[in-house]
A = this chain, B = another copy of it.
Amino acid sequence: MARMDAVSKQTAAKIEKLAEAVMRTVKGGNNPFVEIPIRSLANVRWSEKKRLVELGNQRQKRYFFNVSMAKKFMQTFLVSDACKELVESGKTTSIRDLYYVTKHTIGDTKQNTFEEQDESDPIIEDLEVALDSLREELHLFASRKGSMVGPITIRDSGDTIDLRRMGSGGWAVPSIVEENIIQFVRHEAKYILLIEKDAVWTRFNEDKFWKRERCIILQGGGQPPRGVRRLVQRLHSELKLPVYVLVDNDPWGFYIYSVMKQGSINLAYESMRMAVPDARFVGLSSFDKQKYKLPDNVAIKMDDGDNARAKQMLAYPWFKHAKWQREIAEMVSSGMKYELEALSRRGISFITEEYLPKKLKDRDWLE
């Protein structure tokens, strides 16, 4: 067994506790169960106080001696056992891998423990909520995307990395960025800028915007993957740095901002550790067409999907503020959307030299 760090010890202890409770019940002659918070929409709510999408208090008991629950009960322990092994060995793996690792044919039957990954994935989510551990703490990683540079030195798995000297490529953000793996050593950053598109990030890096403005720039290739979201949240909460989100002027861009800020309904149980309620929107606003003199021919017509999505967002409690209502209403009534790249019509460095500096100076953001 590898020597475990504090986080891993805690996670392993939680898994043990879960198993011990079951064993005690069995010894007491009772039907063993695991208690799991319910992850359905009915148990998701918007917390006005925390400004987060979060899970409610409803819980479900999963019994072993119950025809409809027995298989899931067994699966829960297969997965938790595999995770405990991962945690104790100091290794991490993908949820796809975990599916293969835990897939067995049961005895002489033709029954498999799991038929497809869509059976093991929800069990992982169950375990995350039951243990109140992120899957990253269970040593499971998701797919990785994204890169980061800026005036900060980090430690990653024992290597000290100066993100001021990462050339055009940047440091590739891994999926697991928990504090046992990534530590922040020192920095001179004033804020964090999360950029939706890799192409726009490349512009900001090439123009050394991060150096001039003293900020950390990250991109997650569209909707940021878990690693990028969690890292932004850690940088924000541990280094007390404000977060600005730069996205397209379209419902998808607004949605990316929304997930970064409030969390998502699907992953409500993780909002506490993934979301940044104070995040500010510096993405292209529906009113920027006038403000930044964009010609008509760079507008893109919204399609039916865009319109439906935008109208949905009008109803989100966290978009209830008059400024956001006005913003979304303008998008819907104009029927037009704009990509960040449209700003290049004013020059390819317009976005780094004029657009964003002006937005920040005028405090012209949405919250």
Say yes or no: A144-B202 contact (C-beta < 8 A), given A103-B298, A167-B159, A171-B172: yes
User: Quick one: which of A86-123 are within 8 Å of B by CB?
Assistant: 86, 91-94, 96-97, 99-101, 103-105, 112
Q: Which of A125-133, A237-245, A338-346 contacts B (4 or more CB under 8 A)?
A: A338-346
1/0 contact trace for A340-367 toward B, CB 8 Å? 0110110011000000000000000000
Quick check: is A335 within 8 A (CB to CB) of the other chain?
Answer: no
In chain A, positions 161-214 with a C-beta closer than 8 Å to chain B are 161, 165-176, 181-182, 198-199, 202-203, 206-207
Number of interface residues of A (CB under 8 A): 60
Listed in ascending order, the chain A residues whose CB lies under 8 Å from chain B are: 86, 91-94, 96-97, 99-101, 103-105, 112, 141, 143-147, 154-161, 165-176, 181-182, 198-199, 202-203, 206-207, 221, 295-298, 339, 341-342, 344-345, 348-349
Pick 25 A–B contacts, CB within 8 A, sort by A.
Answer: A91-B207, A93-B203, A93-B348, A97-B203, A100-B341, A100-B344, A103-B297, A141-B199, A141-B202, A143-B198, A144-B147, A144-B202, A145-B145, A145-B221, A146-B172, A155-B167, A156-B167, A156-B169, A157-B168, A159-B165, A159-B166, A159-B167, A167-B174, A170-B174, A174-B202
